[in-house]
Chain A
Amino acid sequence: MTATTQPGAVAGTPQPRSGDTAGAPAGTGSRGTRIVGLLALASIALLVLYGLVISPADVEMDDAVRLMYVHVPSATYLYVGCFVTTLASGLWLWKRTAGWDALAEAGAEVGLVFAVITLGTGSLWGRPTWGTYWTWDARLTSTAVLTALLVGYLALRRLDLDPDARSARAAVLGLLLVPNVVIVNRSVEWWRSLHQGSTLTRIDPTIEGDMLVALMVGFLALGLVFSWLMIHRFRVAWLSQQVDRIDLDEALAERRAEAEAEVAR
């Protein structure tokens, strides 16, 4: 079904791929994602309601506590993304199926989005509560290091390399992601606990009532968002692999055609 080239066609002339894909519904969406997407939007609306309106201001932090309803879940999903990447990397190394490679990529990139959210909301929480945009508390510091790890992983993924080599290197790096995160978290927490309570952004475990509901809705909403983003990002990675493969096939076909033309002459 891939486009064929004319013998003797000049190498490098891009052949149009029309006719194969015109008229087909193009995109990474599906019935499943539309359902998840709608649920996500609905729960976000619910979160806005509970988080900003219904739940009361905190005794100590005033309304800054409303940031926690986003900050805590996004930190959680950041870790989920990292776990997905590590797990998928390990599975790729074991099975060598392309799908795991795509999943690892998705986990890291979506994880990075949540890392930025975690850092941003944490920082904006810190300003009114503690007076500074940045505190070297355990959670923010480890999240910052984790963000650097993710950026590094994604940078490695973008390299111009033979796809198999790239996947292998990314997989080794990805497999080490969670162990690195664990070690970093432990050492940072231990370090910060020497000087002060280690995590300032922890929500009071005795939280209850409407505040607890708001937090739960936060987990729900961001969880649905995370899932929706993961599915789409996985499909994008998958399609990207297909395109690479098609490109490779076409390039090979062109070369073969050239060689045949040479021989025929």
Chain B
Amino acid sequence: MIAMTHAGYVAAAWLGTFGLIGGYALAMVRRGRKLSRQVPPGERRWS
């Protein structure tokens, strides 16, 4: 794996992809928590 050609590009692409997904997921979970605090539990419909 160390001897991979174009290692820089492969790394950039994979890290970028999962970094973006992770970042977005985090942002969404945080936003969900923030919104959830403003909504009474009865309205949430899942748990």
Bound-state CA distance A228–B26 (Å) is 12
Given contacts A17-B38, A28-B32, A124-B13, contact A63 B7 (CB under 8 A): yes
- By secondary structure, the B interface counts as helix
Interface residues of B in 20-47 (CB under 8 A from A): 20-21, 24-25, 28-29, 31-33, 35-47
Cross-chain pairs A/B with CB under 8 angstroms, 15 sampled: A1-B40, A48-B14, A51-B14, A52-B1, A53-B1, A57-B4, A66-B14, A67-B10, A70-B13, A120-B17, A124-B16, A232-B28, A240-B35, A243-B35, A246-B38
The digit string for A159-178, where 1 denotes a CB below 8 A from any CB of B, is 00000000000000000000
Which B residues form the contact surface with A (CB < 8 A)?
1, 4-7, 9-10, 12-14, 16-18, 20-21, 24-25, 28-29, 31-33, 35-47
CB of B28 within 8 A of CB of A239, answer no
Contact of A63 with B17 in the complex, beta carbons under 8 Å: no
B17 x A74 contact (CB < 8 A): yes
Chain A residues near B40 (CB-CB < 8 A): 1-2, 20-21
In angstroms, how far is the closest chain B Cβ from the Cβ of A70?
Answer: 5
A144 contacts partner chain B, Cβ-Cβ < 8 Å: no
Q: Interface on chain A toward B: helix, strand, loop, or mixed SS? A: helix
Inter-chain contact A125/B24, CB cutoff 8 Å? no
Q: Which residues of B contact A44 (CB under 8 A)?
A: 18
CB distance from A241 to the nearest CB of B (A): 10
A25's closest neighbor in chain B, by CB?
B47
